[in-house]
Amino acid sequence: MDRPQSSDNEAALSLLKAIGERNPKALAGLHSLVGKRIYAFAVRMTRDSDLANQVVTDTLFDVWKFPHRFNGQCKVSTWILAIAKHKALHALSQRHLEHADLDDISDTLPSDLPDPESSSIEAERAAALWRCIQRLPEAHRECLHMVYYEGLSLAEVAQFQEVPENTVKTRLFHARKKLQAWLTGISE
């Protein structure tokens, strides 16, 4: 049976306090409480299970080093997932991809760049969309970002935002309708 989210937060707060007192068992308890959630979040962001495991380790290490940084403005799990997000982004930026020396093959590659006019039109569309997204209420923007940019499922967004899944669906519906109306008004 799943525990209510409020008791999970209370347990996490208690564990965080014990971590501040340097209790290693508390870190293990926190890992048991939120480790799977961090891992699922990191896998969605990185698309790499090994990298996701590293994100879990790095995130919990930061929690161990800096438990005093939790200011109580949100749930402990939200704070931890924010740390995980930064760790995942950092891990992705540090990943070194092997590739052929482009100088050796650059003359034989066809250009896949769009023509300047298409690039300009696409840049204008992207800028207009970004401006419209910024006008959305915070909850709607967050839903859009998590679903379309981070690839999270509706259930995961609902869990992260601590609302029913139908609320997430409604927020996405209204966000898309507003964006469509605003973008149609811009292009006319």
Domain extents in the chain: 5-94, 122-187
Answer yes or no: CATH 1.10.1740.10 is held by domain 5-94.
yes
pLDDT digits (tens, 9 = 90+) for 161-178: 899 999 999 999 999 999
Predicted confidence at residue 109, as pLDDT, reads 59
Angle (CA) 26-60-44 rounded to 5° is: 130
- Do the beta carbons of residue 158 and residue 164 sit within 8 Å? yes
What are the tens digits of pLDDT across the range 113-134?
A: 666 777 777 888 888 888 888 8
Q: How confident is the model at residue 111 (pLDDT cuts 50, 70, 90)?
A: low
| pLDDT higher than threshold 70 for residue 26 | yes
Question: How far is CA 115 from each of CA 74, 109, 121, 124, 180, rounded to the nearest angstrom?
Answer: 47, 16, 10, 14, 27
4 pLDDT above the threshold of 70:
no
Domain 122-187 has CATH 3.40.1740.10: no
pTM of the model: 0.50
Both tokens assigned to 103: 């100088």
* CB contact at 8 A, 130 and 165: no
101's CB contacts (< 8 A; 6+ apart) are: none
Q: What is the DSSP string of 75-129?
A: -HHHHHHHHHHHHHHHHHHHPPPP---HHHHGGGSPP-PPPHHHHHHHHHHHHHH
Residue 62 or residue 188, greater confidence: 62
Q: pLDDT tier at 45 (50, 70, 90 boundaries)?
A: confident
